[in-house]
Amino acid sequence: MTTSGEVRVLVAGHASGPVLVLDEPLSFWGGMDPNSGTVIDARHPQQGRVLTGAVVVMPAGRGSSSSSSVLAEAVRLGTAPAAIVLASVDVIIALGAMIPAEIYDLHCPIVVCAGPLYERVAAAGHLEVAATEVPPVIRLT
Rounded-to-integer distance, Cα 35 and Cα 134, Å: 34
- Indicate if 64 belongs to the active site: yes
Other Cβ atoms within 10 Å of 55 Cβ, number: 26
**Which residue in the list 16, 36, 64, 66 is annotated as catalytic?**
64
> At how many degrees (to 10) do helices 91-104 and 67-77 cross?
40
Rounded-to-integer distance, Cα 110 and Cα 104, Å: 17
- The three-state secondary structure class of 121 is helix
Q: Which residues are catalytic?
A: 64
